[in-house]
C-alpha cells in the first residue's frame, strides 16, 4: 500500500504537471521548447535567446494565471469540504455564506457607481462586499436560532445571498451602459485574465494557510459526522471550531472571489468527487480536494481560452458546463455505491 510519503509525492507531481500544461497551452500557440526555455531562463538564468514577448507571455501571463488558478481551485474546494462537513449539508458550497453575492455587489458598486472614487480597486471593493455580506449573514444566523444550529446558518446564508444578488442586479440594470454591464458580467462569471504575479503572492499563501488550518482541525471535522451534539460529546469545542473554520472559509473564499470573480461548482463538486474516491476521513479528504480543485480549475482556465479561437469564455461558464454533468455522475455513483 502506498505510504503517505509516496502519496504526497504523487500529488505534488500531478500538480506540477498540470501547472506546466497550463503554461504551455494558451490563446496563441507557443512551441513547448520555447515554453521550457523561457521557464529555464527565469528560474535558473539559463541564458537562452528568446523573443522577449514570448518570454514575457510565459512568465508574466501564463505562469501566474496557472498558479492563481491552482490556488483558487484548491482554496474553494477546501472551503467546500469544511462547509459541507460543518453544516451537515451536501449542497453547501463556499458561496453559501453570502460571500460571492456580497463580492458581486462590492465589485459592482466600485465599477459602476465609482464608489471609492477610483482609490478602491475592483478587487478591494469585492473583498469588502464579501466580508460585509458574511457579517450580515452571521448576525442573521445568530439572531434566528440556537448558537450552534446548522439549519439557520444555511437559511441565513440563502437569505443574505438573495439580498445581495438582488442588489447587484438592481445596480447593473439601473446604472450600467452595455459596455460596463458586459465588463462586470465578465468579472462576475469568473475571469483569470487580469492576474499577474501580485495576485500569486496573495492567493497562494492564503490557500496554503487555509488548507493548513483545516488540516489542523481534521479530527474535529471527523467528529461532526453524526451531528453537532455528537461532536461535542467527542470532546470538540463546537462553537470555537465552528467560528474558526467558518471564519477561515469566509476569508479564503472572499480573497479568491475578489481576485477572480465567482467561479462556481468547484467548491460543490470537487469535495463530493473526493469523498466518492477516498471516503470520509478528513486527513485524506482535505488534501485530495485541494489537489482536485487545483487541477480542475487549471484545466477549466485552459479550456476557457482555447475552446473558441480568439475569444475568451468566462471560467465560471466552463466550470458550470463541466461541473453540472460531473455532479450528476457523482450522484448516480453514490446511489450505485449503496
Partner 1 sequence: MSAPSVLNCCDLNFRVRDVELLSDICLEVHQGETLGIVGPNGSGKSTLLKLLAGLRTPTAGEVRLAGRRLDELSRRSIAQHLAVVEQQADTDDSIKVFDAVALGRIPWLSALSPWSDADDAMVRQALHDVDATHLQARRWCNLSGGERQRVHIARALAQRPRILLLDEPTNHLDIQHQLSILQVVQALPVTTLIALHDLNQALTCDRLAVLERGRLVALGKPLEVLTPQRLRDTFGVQGHYLTDPFDGARILRLRSDTKGPGRIVQTDGRNILKEPAC
Partner 2 sequence: MRLHRVVTLITALGLCSQAQATPTQYPLTLENCGSSLTFQHAPARTVTIGQAGTEMLYALGLADKVVGTSLWFNEVDGKYKAQNDQVGRLADNEPSFEAVIGKRPELVAVELEWMVGPQGAVGTREQFHELNIPTYLMPSDCEAKDNRVGADGTRLEPFRIDSMYKSISQLAEIFDVQVRGQQLEAELKASLARSIAAVQKNQLQPPSALVWFSSAQIDMDPYVAGHKGVPDFMLKTLGVKNVVQSDEEWPTVGWETIARANPTFLVIARMDRRRFPADDYQKKLAFLRSDPVTRNMDAVKHGRIIILDAMAMQASVRMFEGLEQLAQAINGYDLSP
Residue 285 within binding range of partner 2, rule CB under 8 A:
no
Residue 327 within binding range of partner 2, rule CB under 8 A:
no
Interacting residue with partner 2 among 41, 152, 165, 180 (CB under 8 A): 180
DSSP string, 84-153: HHHTT-TT--GGGGSHHHHHHHHHHHHHHH-TTTTSS-HHHHHHHHHHHHHHHHHHHHHHTS-TT-HHHH
DSSP string, 57-93: IIIIIIHHHHHHHHHHHHHHHHHHHHHHHHTT-TT--
Interacting residue with partner 2 among 74, 86, 109, 111 (CB under 8 A): 111
* CB of 194 or CB of 237, closer to partner 1: 237
Q: How many helices (H) and strands (E) does the chain have?
A: 15, 0
Q: Pull the grid cell for residue 175.
A: 446604472
Please report the sign of the dihedral spanned by the C-alpha atoms of residue 301, residue 13, residue 279, residue 281.
negative
* CB of 77 or CB of 259, closer to partner 2: 259
Calculate the alpha carbon distances from 263 to 84, 164, 216, 297, 317 in Å.
18, 17, 26, 9, 8
Q: Name the binder of 219 from partner 2, partner 1, none, CB < 5-8 A by kind.
A: partner 1
Greatest Cα pair distance in the chain: 66
Residues that bind partner 1 (CB under 8 A): 88, 90, 219-220, 222-223, 225-227, 229-230, 232-238, 275, 279-281, 334, 337-338
Interaction pattern, residues 149-178, with partner 2; x per rule: CB under 8 A: ----------------------------xx
Q: How many residues make contact with partner 2 (CB under 8 A)?
A: 37
Interacting residue with partner 2 among 59, 95, 224, 265 (CB under 8 A): 59
Chain residues that interact with partner 2, rule: CB under 8 A: 26-28, 52-54, 56-57, 59-62, 111-112, 114, 118, 121-122, 177-184, 186-187, 191, 193-196, 305, 310-312
Amino acid at each position: 500500500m502506498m505510504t503517505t510519503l509516496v502519496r504526497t509525492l504523487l500529488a505534488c507531481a500531478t500538480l506540477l504537471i498540470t501547472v506546466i500544461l497550463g503554461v504551455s497551452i494558451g490563446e496563441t500557440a507557443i512551441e513547448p521548447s520555447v515554453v521550457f526555455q523561457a521557464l529555464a531562463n527565469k528560474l535558473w538564468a539559463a541564458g537562452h535567446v528568446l523573443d522577449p514577448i514570448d518570454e514575457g507571455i510565459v512568465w508574466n501571463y501564463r505562469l501566474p494565471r496557472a498558479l492563481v488558478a491552482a490556488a483558487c481551485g484548491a482554496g474553494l474546494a477546501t472551503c467546500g469540504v469544511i462547509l459541507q462537513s460543518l453544516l451537515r449539508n451536501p449542497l453547501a458550497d463556499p458561496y453559501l455564506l453570502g460571500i460571492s453575492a456580497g463580492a458581486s455587489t462590492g465589485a459592482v458598486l466600485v465599477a459602476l457607481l465609482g464608489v471609492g472614487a477610483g482609490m478602491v480597486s475592483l478587487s478591494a471593493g469585492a473583498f469588502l462586499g464579501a466580508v460585509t455580506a458574511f457579517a450580515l449573514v452571521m448576525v442573521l444566523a445568530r439572531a434566528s436560532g440556537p448558537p450552534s444550529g446548522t439549519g439557520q446558518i444555511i437559511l441565513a446564508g440563502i437569505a443574505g445571498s438573495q439580498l445581495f444578488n438582488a442588489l447587484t442586479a438592481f445596480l447593473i440594470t439601473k446604472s450600467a451602459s452595455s459596455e460596463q454591464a458586459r465588463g462586470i458580467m465578465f468579472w462576475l462569471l469568473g475571469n483569470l485574465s487580469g492576474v499577474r504575479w501580485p495576485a500569486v503572492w496573495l492567493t497562494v499563501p492564503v490557500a496554503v494557510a487555509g488548507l493548513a488550518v483545516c488540516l489542523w482541525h481534521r479530527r474535529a471535522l471527523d467528529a461532526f459526522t453524526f451531528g453537532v451534539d455528537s461532536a461535542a460529546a467527542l470532546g470538540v469545542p463546537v462553537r470555537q471550531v465552528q467560528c474558526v473554520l467558518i471564519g477561515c472559509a469566509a476569508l479564503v473564499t472572499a480573497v479568491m472571489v475578489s481576485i477572480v470573480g465567482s467561479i462556481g461548482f468547484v467548491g460543490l463538486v470537487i469535495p463530493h468527487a473526493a469523498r466518492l474516491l477516498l471516503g470520509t476521513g478528513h486527513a485524506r479528504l482535505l488534501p485530495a480536494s485541494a489537489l482536485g480543485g487545483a487541477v480542475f480549475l487549471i484545466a477549466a482556465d485552459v479550456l476557457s481560452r482555447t475552446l473558441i479561437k480568439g475569444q475568451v469564455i468566462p471560467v465560471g461558464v466552463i466550470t458550470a458546463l463541466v461541473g453540472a454533468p460531473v455532479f450528476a455522475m457523482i450522484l448516480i455513483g453514490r446511489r450505485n455505491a449503496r
